[in-house]
Structure 1
């Protein structure tokens, strides 16, 4: 399959590679986000040693790394069957044969946390060698891993031997929708939005869908069938990363069904209020859940957290807990047609409403970066108070100007009443200088189009085609 996206990530890695001094770069992110494929693509024209660590003992890991090094021409192959320690193995990096073109050696350790688990002294060994030898060598070492909390705290944190040694830190995020939907070049814009609503920006999930088949066929074939990898993906990932999966199931299910505050989540999950935050923190570290604040919230308000709401940041998890988790019995009996016909098809557009809002917010960020908004946005998000909510809102650096937006993922045209309601809600944000953006799948009624095209209009209409016009 053709490699898609990650242009900015690759550009930054190339800049590190082209730097004059040795590089120690950390690349990390949640599972399935595409770290390994991106590094393979980055390394394809370079003199590279790529070592993929496994769940194994220190001796097994050293034996595997020794084979990789010996195949690359490390001099130890002439007198060793394998390296006796990580210190001796990593020291050999400086003795590898030079590339024929004089370019630097690229050494990639994929899933480095597995190595540390089998030998906790490894970060200290690497730190010592980096300080005395490797930092002066013509090398770029990439440390890659999926255990985000471990990398942030145990490898990059102040108490880590490697603290302050990194020359680059790249946290890989899910793909933006404009890259994610490149997996489906023949889809209509509506179906691209639906595919993104179902799968999000995780490349491993996007690859499962067949771009030559419809959304309906792909859901049935690649999510609802028991043999399909995506059918068991959520359970596999939770078991891989967490304990007490039944409690996490309850919390994620509660959020998927609309519980957003701590009290609502605790009530629906039937768990004590005091215990839920620790589970939520773990889910946030995995990139499954995010905590959201009104776009106008000050840092002090966010620190207190009183107004923070929890959302599922992973679209596929939201789809799985909405449409698979509650109907598992039917699916275990292979009632794929029944589950799709009665539970998914009637609700799919409603389900896609929230991901569509996220898509519109991402579009606003992109427009701001390109200088196509009335101002440069400091923040883009949602706004709400006790009574009102605005789907999309961007504010400038001083908080004196705002764009308020409403998103409608439905096949009927938007009329003036939607704009009037948006104006009314925006009047209570406390920001006086406002413009209004309406996002719609089904287009707009003519009177609203006339309003928006008048010379002094403060309204902009964005159709589904505009969102995918790159």
Structure 2
């Protein structure tokens, strides 16, 4: 199927769905589609049902009786029946749906709402799939797609002993746009403006459209006013979105603890012990909260490049990071309408706690998708290395390595330092050279590059050094978006 013109990007997702619905399998097959809210899943699946003539039903938060009535009305409308179906159970509903929709694509959106009121539905679907292994007619195979935004719930459908484990032919996660695609979607030609926008809204499509009334900053000069108007103003949908994203996850029970954990990470406490200290808890007390936030895709856990037993926690959604770092500490003043003053006074904090870490992440994303440093890396991460001579820790923002080989150590492709608000000079280069020397004992560093990622540019002597040594790479903002 040709991808609809109105569907921006999403080539991978459309291709996966195309292959699923047009596959030659003659029986009932299942797909699980998930993704955080506002990523365009509904738009994508509605486009799919329009292209295939399929049945689309969006569940709501309702009782089982209400949901069955809504489902019966939607199915009758789709089939152009004069009266709504009346169902006594979801088994009855699915029997009728599968009977009347043979050979078609069926999408049930916001499936977690149905599960919440009727937990046995997953087992019922399992029996439907297992009991319909033979083709029903010459109409072809029926394709059932279950979609939802509650990441922990949707991920749990196929885990462990879950009824639907092993039954899905496709598991598709609709993720935010990567930073380059987001820049194109925002029509942000200026790399600095693109990076600033991405640090606030990430790659979530809805935050470019109705959530900001389709208004975007035309250039850097308009960015500050845009943040005040579109993010910090009480009338903007983005104003409370950071809270709603957390509260909407069904597994989140105590908002205060989860906000405390996210606030700790946003303030720079990225280790388990650091988060526990910030929250005033023991590290063991946070295990459940951290697991839930990871399952909901609100945080990610990254291994330290140099310590196998140490992991770093980062917030996955830039808007939540922005909310925790800038908005939540000033919530009382924002509620009083002091948005402009809050934003003006938050400039240093925004640079250090939001843009600094975000720029580092953009640099790691860039390193993961380029062969500029000799090859495409198998792993890109960050870490802290101890200089035994000076007994001081050295934080390394970008570490790119090849895959391990049985006959040789990992090959170090590059070590890099990322600076958002500082012009880089020979001091930064010397620091990277020291890191490369320290890693020589465990890695093949013979061709390792020293990468200076600088958003504010580079000193003349650093540029001169790079012109004489091909292993020194100066990576500016324009390079990241090229």
When normalised by structure 2's length, the TM-score is 0.86
CA RMSD of aligned residues (A): 2.4
Is the CA contact (8 Å cut-off) linking 2:425 and 2:459 kept in structure 1?
yes
Matched, 1:431 2:443: yes
| Corresponding position of 2:418 | 407
1:402/1:212 Cα in 2 relative to 1: closer, same or farther (>3 Å)? closer
Q: Distance in 1 between matches of 2:438 and 2:284?
A: 34
Partner of residue 353 from structure 1, selected from 353, 356, 379: 356
Partner of residue 239 from structure 1, selected from 244, 247, 269: 247
Q: Distance in 1 between matches of 2:48 and 2:380?
A: 31
Matched, 1:190 2:192: yes
Q: Deviations over 1:136-193 (max 9, x none)?
A: 352221111122222223x212322222110011122222101122232145110100
Is the CA contact (8 Å cut-off) linking 1:186 and 1:211 kept in structure 2?
no
| Corresponding position of 1:381 | 381
Is the CA contact (8 Å cut-off) linking 1:252 and 1:312 kept in structure 2?
yes
Q: How does 1:55-454 map to 2 (within 5 A)?
A: 55-73=61-79, 77=81, 81-96=85-100, 104-133=103-132, 136=135, 137-153=140-156, 155-207=157-209, 208-209=211-212, 210-213=215-218, 214-241=222-249, 242-295=252-305, 301=308, 306-343=309-346, 345-350=347-352, 351-368=354-371, 372-386=372-386, 387-398=393-404, 399-410=410-421, 413-429=423-439, 430-433=442-445, 434-454=448-468
TM-superposed CA distance for 1:320, in Å, is 0.9
Corresponding residue SS for 2:314: strand
Q: Distance in 2 between matches of 1:348 and 1:308?
A: 25
1:311/1:118 Cα in 2 relative to 1: closer, same or farther (>3 Å)? same
274-283 or 200-209: bigger deviation: 200-209
**Structure 2 residue runs without a partner (length 5+):** 387-392, 405-409
Corresponding residue SS for 1:158: coil
TM-superposed CA distance for 1:134, in Å, is 7.0
Is the CA contact (8 Å cut-off) linking 2:368 and 2:376 kept in structure 1?
no
Q: Distance in 2 between matches of 1:269 and 1:79?
A: 56
Q: Distance in 2 between matches of 1:313 and 1:97?
A: 39
How many pairs does the alignment contain? Answer: 448
TM-superposed CA distance for 1:135, in Å, is 6.6
1:135/1:201 Cα in 2 relative to 1: closer, same or farther (>3 Å)? farther
TM-superposed CA distance for 1:414, in Å, is 2.4
TM-superposed CA distance for 1:25, in Å, is 0.6
